[in-house]
Amino acid sequence: MSSEINKVVLAYSGGLDTSVIARWLQETYDCEVVTFTADIGQGEEVEPARAKAEAMGIKEIYIDDLREEFVRDFVFPMFRANTVYEGEYLLGTSIARPLIAKRLIEIANETGADAISHGATGKGNDQVRFELGAYALKPGIQVIAPWREWDLGSRESLMKYCEDHAIPVDFASAKKKSPYSMDANLLHISYEGDLLENPWNEPEEDMWRWSVSPEAAPDQPTYIELDFLGGDIVAIDGQSMSPATILETLNKVGGANGIGRDDIVENRYVGMKSRGCYETPGGTIMLKAHRAIESLTLDREVTHLKDDLMPRYARLIYNGYWWSPERKMLQAAIDDSQQVVNGKVRLKLYKGNVIVAGRQSADSLFDESIATFEEDAGAYNQADAEGFIKLNALRMRIAASKGRSML
């Protein structure tokens, strides 16, 4: 099979796993390797990956800053739908994968590569997300997933491979690495493995990287105001910002107030249950604020239809179907609904809580003259409610008259 593959584009972090994969591809497939390293806000320097790739003789090295594209074209569209998987997970890892798949294929086209490769394991969701995206964007692409092929099953075996094949890896750093499997980007950071594999174990406090505990958060609340335009946040406290800067800012203020921690047992697409912990401070704030502005501006049935569609939309993203026609169709409907989602939301952040303190919009459907508990000057005829109720009860009244008791 090695003769069939001449060039591979590898999603490359520069860490232990993908450094081994780079050399393994060269030796197993006798092919040229192109490395692609994406900066999507993981909080670590990506430029050192260049020197590591060069040390392995790699000539074509891509290091791309995708932070703005990530938030603008993936995170923001997802949050227009108020997307939550299984009632809790804000899809921080899931939503990054279609962007990486897209860029892998773009680089494959630019370099003439006939295959792509990734470091996702055969047990997880990421292999599905990467590969579904790749096949959707380039049907004939070949995919190499080393974790499904090789016999290297532990960190120790990977480090031994590095020693045997002269791969430049900082062994001291690798041995000191966190015991958790972690994934980070501008939307979140996740933790899996080690003591978290027992769902009964409470996470250690020193595991968390982005947030203080709610107990240690300030005793005074923090107020912020978010401006929305077309369903997206465009300014914080009156200051216009780019999408990535908005999310960075919300992460900082949210983390400082103990916001965004979650401990979840989720259902992976491949069939198993998985326990993971997540920090999503900015996303937690965004979701609360977006629902608040929608409550003011969206028609009731549009709101309810969006809520009906959201779990399906969330599953599409979680399972790797971002680049599917059904996700594109749903996105068109969601985006159309957001034309009127404009205005301002004031939030109070306090010890892990995001509390809506106010909302206003020129596109508001809230009519105080009708909703008031005071004299409404005839704006609403309460007598109309009698016929409304009787018509809605008609089918139940008929059934009851025919002896169909609900008791």
Token couple for 220: 């005074």
Per annotation, catalytic residue among 23, 67, 80, 97: 97
Contact 309, 285 (CB under 8 A): no
Residue 349 sits at the vertex; the CA angle it makes with 346 and 355, to the nearest 5 degrees, is: 60
Selected from 3.40.50.800, 3.40.50.620, 3.30.10.20, 3.60.15.10, the CATH number assigned to the domain covering 2-67+93-177 reads 3.40.50.620
β-strands 181-184, 142-144 pairing: unpaired
Instruction: Answer yes or no: is pLDDT of 14 > 90.
Output: no
Q: What integer pLDDT is reported at residue 270 of this predicted model?
A: 94
Between the CA atoms of 73, 77, 79 and 83, what dihedral angle is there, to the nearest 10 degrees? -110
* Residue 2 confidence (pLDDT): 42
**Is 227 an annotated catalytic residue?**
no
Give the DSSP per-residue string, 267-319. Answer: E-TTS-EEEEEEE-HHHHHHHHHHHHHHHHHS-HHHHHHHHHHHHHHHHHHHH
Contact 49, 63 (CB under 8 A): yes
Residue among 114, 181, 315, 346 flagged as catalytic: 181
Residue in 39, 126, 227, 232 annotated catalytic = 126
Provide the whole-model pTM: 0.95
Mean pLDDT over residues 243-266, rounded? 98
Buried b (16+ CB within 10 A) or exposed e, 348-358: ebbbbbbeeee
Q: Give the architecture (CATH level 2) of 184-298+341-360.
A: Alpha-Beta Complex (3.90)
Residue 68 pLDDT more than 80? yes
Any catalytic annotation for residue 17?
Answer: yes
Are the beta carbons of 19 and 51 closer than 8 angstroms?
no
**How confident is residue 153, by pLDDT bands cut at 50, 70 and 90?**
confident
Q: Is 336 a catalytic residue?
A: no
Q: Which pLDDT belongs to residue 324? A: 98
Q: Which pLDDT value is given to residue 376?
A: 86
Annotated domain spans of the chain? 2-67+93-177, 184-298+341-360, 371-401
| Active-site annotation holder among 13, 17, 39, 361 | 17
Question: Among this protein's residues, is 80 annotated catalytic?
Answer: no
- Give me the chain's average pLDDT, please: 94
- Tell me the pLDDT tens digit for each residue of 377-390: 889 999 999 999 99
Instruction: Tell me how many helices (H) and strands (E) the chain has.
Output: 14, 14
Instruction: Check whether 235 has a pLDDT greater than 90.
Output: yes
Please state, in angstroms and rounded to a whole number, the distance separating the CA atoms of residues 146 and 118. 8
Q: Give the model's pLDDT for residue 4.
A: 86
Task: Reduce the DSSP state of residue 90 to 3 states and report it.
Answer: coil
Q: Please compute, for residue 322, the number of CA atoms within 13 A of its CA located in the half-sphere on the CB side.
A: 27
How far is Cα 311 from Cα 329, in angstroms, rounded to an integer?
15
Q: What is the pLDDT of residues 276-291, one digit of tens each?
A: 999 999 999 999 999 9
In angstroms, the CA 63 to CA 38 distance is 6
Tell me the CA end-to-end span of the chain in Å, nearest whole number: 69
